[in-house]
Chain A
Amino acid sequence: MKLRVRATKIGKVRFTSHRDAARMWERALRRAGLPVAFTEGFTPRPKISFGLALPTGAESIAEYVDIELQHDVAAADVDLETLPARLSDALPTGFDVLVAGEREPGIDSLQQAVTSCTWQLWSPLLSAEDHFDACRLVESAELVLERERKGKRSADDVRPMILDLRPDPTGDRLIANLVTIGRALRPGELAELAYPNIDARDVRALRTHQWLDHDGMRREVLPLPADVDARTLAVLA
C-alpha cells in the first residue's frame, strides 16, 4: 500500500535543506520500523517521494511525503491513527507528522498534482502598513523580476504567478497564494518585490497549504483534522 503523510518543518530545522530532509526521513522510517518498499538493483533505495521542495530557511506546516510499503503489507496492518505520533517520535524536533492517509492508487504524484501554495510572510522589520502596501502588487499588470538560475540571468513577468495577496487578520503577516506550475515564484523572490526597503533575507516564510486542482475546485492535499489544526496553530503562536 501507499501512504501519504503531512508534516511540519518548524524552528531551527528550517535551516536544513530539502536533501537533508530526505535523508532524515529515510532514517526516521527505519527507526520507526516501517516496512518500506525498496527499489531493485545494487543500490536499493526506499520508495519515498517528496512534494515541492521547501526553500532552505522557510518553515512549513504543509510538507507532504509519499511512502510506498512492501507488497505484503495490507491497509489493515497499518494504524493510520497512531502513525503520526510513531513517525514524529522518530523524526528530529521540528518535524512533526500531523496526519497520515492512504494514497489512492492512480492519482498523480505530488510534484504533478499541486498547482499552488499558500505562504505567510513576516519580519520584525515590517509593519502592518508594509503588508498592506505589498498587497497592491496584484494591481500591477506586469511584474518583471530579474533572477538567476543555473548561472543564467533572465527577466520574467511573475505577475501571473501571484493568485492572491492579503494581510492576515492580525495585520502582522502577509498571506500569499502562489502558482507552482512552471517556474515558480519563490517566497524570497516575492519578498524582494513586496518589501523593496528591507533585505529580503530578513523576511520569514511559512508554507501553510499545498493545493490540488480538483474539477476546477482547489482542495488541500491532506486537510488537517480540527484538533490537529488547533494544536499546530498553538505551536506557531
Chain B
Amino acid sequence: MSTLWARIEPLLARVQKPARYIGCEDGAITPRHDKIDGGDAVAWLLAYPDTYEVGLPNQGLQILYEILNERDDALAERTYAPWSDLDREMRAAKVPLFSVDTHRAAAEFDLLAFNLSSELVFTNVLNMIDLAGAPVRAADRAADDLFVLVGGHAAFNPEPLADFIDAAVLGEGEEVVSEITKLFWDWKVAGRTDRQSFLRQLSKVPGVYVPAMYEVTYDGDRIAAVEPRYPDVPATVDKRTIVDLAEWPYPKSPLVPLTEVVHDRLSVEVFRGCTRGCRFCQAGMITRPVRERPAEQVRTMIREGLRSTGYDEVSLTSLSTADFSDIEPVVRGILEDAKEIPGSCNTMTINLPSLRVDAFTVGLAGEVNNGRRSGLTFAPEGGSWRLRKVINKLITEEDLYGAVESAFSQGWTRMKLYFLTGLPTETDEDTLGIAELAKNCVAIGKRHTNRASVTVSLGGFVPKPHTPFQWFGQNTDEELQRKINLVRQATRRMGGVNVKWHDPAATTAEGITSRGDRRIGRVIERVWREGGLFQEWGEHFNLDLWASAMETEGLSMDWYVFRHREENEILPWSHLTAGLHKDFLWGDWLDALAESGVEDCRWTPCYDCGVCTGYGIEHVVASPIAPAGGSQGTGQDLSRGGEVPVTLMPTRRQPAEVAS
C-alpha cells in the first residue's frame, strides 16, 4: 500500500513527454494516505480520459479535487490517460493505472470518477478501467473492486457506457460528490459487503443514475421502455444544479502544470449556464439557468490566482463571456490590479473566449490584449440569415461585418470564422453563403491591410441529446464532404480565404455514440479491443473500426446516426433530464423548422423551458438589461439601445405559445 514510483520511474525513461506522468504541479495536494490504510476516508481517483495536456486544465476536475480534499472523510487524486507508448510499457511491466499525485495504484482507491467532455473518449474510459485492474463490465465487479462513475457534459447520455459504469452523475458535481462520499463511507464502515445494496442506495441520490437499476426493453430496433427494477428507484433522474456560483469560489489553488498543456493560463469562471438558446448547443441547454459570479469575487479570484500561480495570462471562462454583466469594470479592475504585481511589467493578457459577434466585443478584446493581435475568432455557425434563424444564432450580417470592420481597424489581420455544416434544413445556398460571408469579410479587411485573411473552419454537426435538434438525422460523411467541397470550390479563387474542416468520418463516429443506446456499448468495447484508443486524435482515429464493429454487432449506422427521430419515440435518454420540458424541446424544434428565433430569457420574459420552474432556481444576473452592441440571440431592436427589462423570476408559463 504505497507509491508505485520506483516501478514507474524506469518506464518514464522510455516514453515521449514523461512530464505528463509526474504530477508535482503547484496547487497539487498530497492527501493523507494514512487514512486510506486505516480504511476510513473515501478515496476518489478523478480521471480524465485523454492526455494530461488536454485533461489538466479541466476546471470541473480541479474543482472536485479541491472540494473532496477539503473534506475530512474524503481524499482525491488525479489520473489521465497514458499515451500508447506508456500504455505498452505499463502492460509489459504489469504496472497498473496510477495517480499522478502520489503515484498509487488505482486499485487503492474506492471510486474511479471520469470527467467526460466528449463521446470519442469512451474507448479510453474502457482502457483506463482495464489498466486499473478492474473488470471492464460493471456486472463482473466484486465488492472490493473500484466503483466507476462518470460525469460531465457527455455523461448526459451515458447509455452507451451503461455496461461499463456503476453510475453517472448528471449536472454539476459540487454538492453531489459530498453526498456520494457520505453514502460510501457508511457502506464502507458497515463492512463493504454487498455491492448491489450500495448501488441501490446510490440510485436514490438526486442527480445520480445507476444504469444497473433500470431495465431497457426493446421492440425491434426501438426502445419499448426504460423502467426501474425496484419501486424505490426513481423513474426519472434529474440533473444537479448549484444555486449560487458565489458560494463556490473554486479552484482556490489552481493547478499549475510543469509541462505544456492546452490552456496554460489562469482560468476563472465568470458565469455558468447560457440562455442564448442556440439550438445545436448542448452546453447551453444542459447548464441552464445563467448564474453569474459577483464581479468583486471574480476580481479577487484573479488577483489571488495570479499571485499564487505566477501566470501572466488569465482566461475569463463561460459559454459567452461578453454577456457577463460586469465585463467592462471587471476587465478594468484586472488591468489595474496587474500593475501592482511587481515584475509583471504590464505584460498581463486577458483572454476572452467564446466572444459574441459584434463591435462592442471586439472593442473589449482590443482593450485587453496589450497590443497583441494574434487572431480573432467569431462563430456565426450558419452561412445565411435564414439558417441562423433555424439554429437560433441570431447574428445579422451587419453584426458580423461591424465586428470584422472593428477588428481590422484595430490592427487585427487574421480572422477565423467557425461554421457548422450539416445543420437542419441546410441547403446548398446556405452552404455557399459561408463563402460569400468570408469573401465580404476579406474585402472589409483589405480596406485596412493587404495582409487581411480569413480562415473558415467547418465542423460537421452532430445532433446532441437534450437539445431541440435531438430528433434530427445527422448528415452522412459523404454529404458533409460534399458540402465541404462546395465551400472549398467557391473559395478557391478568393484571395485571403482559407478553408479548414473537421474530418467528416470523425463526425460520423461521434454520431454513433452521441445518441446511442445501451446496445452501442458492444461497439465501443469492440473498437477498444481492436486497439481504437484516442479517437479524438487524427493520427489514431479510424472510422473503419467503428463501421466494422457496428456491422459485427448487427447494428445499423442509418438507424443510429442518419435517421430522423419521431416525436413519440422513446429516446435512449428519455428517463434522464436536464430540466427541459419535452414539450419545450419539441416546440423549439418546430420553431426551428419554421425559421423562428427565440429571445434570451435572461433579459426577456420566461418562456418556460422548464429548468427554473422545475428546480425552483432562477437566473443570477447582475444587470437587468441586455448588453449593448449586439442583437445576437436577444431579438432586441438595436435602435432602442437594448432596453429590455429583465424578469428574474419566471412569471408565466406559455408552452402553447412557444410551440405554435
**A residues neighboring B (CB under 8 Å):** 12-13, 15-17, 19-20, 23-24, 26-31, 33-36, 38, 42-44, 46, 56-57, 70, 90, 92-94, 201-202
Binds A, one of B7-15, B482-490, B550-558, B593-601: B7-15
**Distance from A54 Cβ to chain B, minimum over Cβ atoms (Å):** 13
A28 to chain B: which residues have CB within 8 Å?
Answer: 310
B5 to chain A: which residues have CB within 8 Å?
Answer: 12
B345 to chain A: which residues have CB within 8 Å?
Answer: 36, 38, 44, 46, 70
When A and B form their complex, which 9 residue pairs have the shortest distance between CB atoms, in order from nearest? Answer: A27-B310, A15-B18, A31-B310, A33-B342, A12-B22, A201-B13, A30-B310, A16-B19, A38-B345
Check A20/B343 contact, CB under 8 A, given A15-B18, A30-B310.
no
Check A57/B18 contact, CB under 8 A, given A23-B260, A44-B345, A92-B24.
yes
B308 to chain A: which residues have CB within 8 Å?
Answer: 31
User: What separation, in Å, do the CA atoms of A36 and B343 have in the docked complex?
Assistant: 6
B372 to chain A: which residues have CB within 8 Å?
Answer: 42-43
Residue of A nearest to B310 (CB): A27
Determine if A35 and B342 form an interchain contact, defined as CB atoms under 8 angstroms apart. yes
**Distance from A206 Cβ to chain B, minimum over Cβ atoms (Å):** 14
Looking at A15, A20, A31, the one whose CB has the most chain B CB atoms below 10 A away is A15
**Distance from A63 Cβ to chain B, minimum over Cβ atoms (Å):** 15
Partner of B307, one of A31, A34, A46, A94: A31
Looking at A19, A26, A30, the one whose CB has the most chain B CB atoms below 10 A away is A30
Partner of B311, one of A27, A46, A90: A27
Interface secondary structure of B, over-half rule: loop
Determine if A16 and B343 form an interchain contact, defined as CB atoms under 8 angstroms apart. no
User: What separation, in Å, do the CA atoms of A35 and B343 have in the docked complex?
Assistant: 4
B548 interface residue (CB < 8 Å to A): no
**Distance from B576 Cβ to chain A, minimum over Cβ atoms (Å):** 41
Looking at B256, B264, B310, B373, the one whose CB has the most chain A CB atoms below 10 A away is B310
Determine if B13 and A202 form an interchain contact, defined as CB atoms under 8 angstroms apart. yes
A93 to chain B: which residues have CB within 8 Å?
Answer: 24
User: What separation, in Å, do the CA atoms of A128 and B264 have in the docked complex?
Assistant: 45
User: What separation, in Å, do the CA atoms of A70 and B5 have in the docked complex?
Assistant: 42
Determine if B258 and A90 form an interchain contact, defined as CB atoms under 8 angstroms apart. no
Partner of A92, one of B10, B26, B341: B26
Partner of B258, one of A29, A35, A44, A92: A92
Residue of A nearest to B370 (CB): A42
Residue of A nearest to B13 (CB): A201
**Distance from A13 Cβ to chain B, minimum over Cβ atoms (Å):** 6
Interface readout for B482-515 with A: 1 if CB under 8 Å, 0 if not? 0000000000000000000000000000000000
Partner of B259, one of A20, A35, A94, A202: A20
B21 to chain A: which residues have CB within 8 Å?
Answer: 15
A201 to chain B: which residues have CB within 8 Å?
Answer: 10, 13-14
**Distance from B644 Cβ to chain A, minimum over Cβ atoms (Å):** 39
B309 interface residue (CB < 8 Å to A): yes
**Distance from A230 Cβ to chain B, minimum over Cβ atoms (Å):** 26
Interface readout for B253-293 with A: 1 if CB under 8 Å, 0 if not? 00010111000100000000000000000000000000000
Determine if B24 and A13 form an interchain contact, defined as CB atoms under 8 angstroms apart. yes
B402 interface residue (CB < 8 Å to A): no
B249 interface residue (CB < 8 Å to A): no
Residue of B nearest to A43 (CB): B372
B382 interface residue (CB < 8 Å to A): no
Residue of A nearest to B15 (CB): A15
Looking at B22, B256, B309, B311, the one whose CB has the most chain A CB atoms below 10 A away is B22
B312 interface residue (CB < 8 Å to A): yes
User: What separation, in Å, do the CA atoms of A34 and B343 have in the docked complex?
Assistant: 6
Determine if A20 and B347 form an interchain contact, defined as CB atoms under 8 angstroms apart. no
Partner of A20, one of B14, B19, B23, B370: B19
A57 to chain B: which residues have CB within 8 Å?
Answer: 12-13, 18
Partner of B23, one of A12, A23, A42, A44: A12
B371 interface residue (CB < 8 Å to A): yes
Residue of B nearest to A19 (CB): B260
B24 to chain A: which residues have CB within 8 Å?
Answer: 12-13, 92-94
Within B319-362, which residues are at the interface with A (CB < 8 Å)? 341-345, 347
User: What separation, in Å, do the CA atoms of A36 and B344 have in the docked complex?
Assistant: 8
Determine if A33 and B343 form an interchain contact, defined as CB atoms under 8 angstroms apart. yes
Within B229-271, which residues are at the interface with A (CB < 8 Å)? 256, 258-260, 264
Determine if A17 and B343 form an interchain contact, defined as CB atoms under 8 angstroms apart. no
User: What separation, in Å, do the CA atoms of A42 and B342 have in the docked complex?
Assistant: 20
B347 to chain A: which residues have CB within 8 Å?
Answer: 38, 44
User: What separation, in Å, do the CA atoms of A33 and B345 have in the docked complex?
Assistant: 11
Partner of A202, one of B10, B19, B341, B371: B10
User: What separation, in Å, do the CA atoms of A9 and B641 have in the docked complex?
Assistant: 59
**Distance from A214 Cβ to chain B, minimum over Cβ atoms (Å):** 33
Determine if B310 and A90 form an interchain contact, defined as CB atoms under 8 angstroms apart. yes
**Distance from A201 Cβ to chain B, minimum over Cβ atoms (Å):** 4
A56 to chain B: which residues have CB within 8 Å?
Answer: 18-19
User: What separation, in Å, do the CA atoms of A12 and B13 have in the docked complex?
Assistant: 12
**Distance from B299 Cβ to chain A, minimum over Cβ atoms (Å):** 19
Determine if B371 and A42 form an interchain contact, defined as CB atoms under 8 angstroms apart. yes
User: What separation, in Å, do the CA atoms of A42 and B18 have in the docked complex?
Assistant: 33
Residue of A nearest to B342 (CB): A33
A90 to chain B: which residues have CB within 8 Å?
Answer: 310
B12 to chain A: which residues have CB within 8 Å?
Answer: 15, 57
A38 to chain B: which residues have CB within 8 Å?
Answer: 345, 347
B256 to chain A: which residues have CB within 8 Å?
Answer: 27
Check A13/B22 contact, CB under 8 A, given A30-B344, A35-B342.
yes
Partner of A30, one of B18, B312, B371: B312
Residue of A nearest to B14 (CB): A201
5 contacts across the A-B interface (CB closer than 8 A):
A15-B21, A16-B19, A17-B259, A19-B260, A33-B343
Looking at B10, B14, B309, the one whose CB has the most chain A CB atoms below 10 A away is B10
B310 to chain A: which residues have CB within 8 Å?
Answer: 26-31, 90
B23 to chain A: which residues have CB within 8 Å?
Answer: 12
Looking at A56, A90, A94, the one whose CB has the most chain B CB atoms below 10 A away is A56
**Distance from A82 Cβ to chain B, minimum over Cβ atoms (Å):** 16
A70 to chain B: which residues have CB within 8 Å?
Answer: 345
Determine if B341 and A30 form an interchain contact, defined as CB atoms under 8 angstroms apart. yes
User: What separation, in Å, do the CA atoms of A72 and B14 have in the docked complex?
Assistant: 48
Interface readout for B111-134 with A: 1 if CB under 8 Å, 0 if not? 000000000000000000000000
Determine if B22 and A15 form an interchain contact, defined as CB atoms under 8 angstroms apart. yes
A30 to chain B: which residues have CB within 8 Å?
Answer: 310-312, 341, 343-344
User: What separation, in Å, do the CA atoms of A44 and B371 have in the docked complex?
Assistant: 11
Given contacts A16-B22, A20-B258, A26-B310, 17 further A-B contacts (CB under 8 A): A12-B23, A15-B19, A20-B259, A23-B264, A29-B343, A30-B310, A30-B311, A30-B344, A33-B342, A33-B343, A38-B347, A43-B372, A46-B345, A57-B12, A92-B24, A92-B26, A201-B13
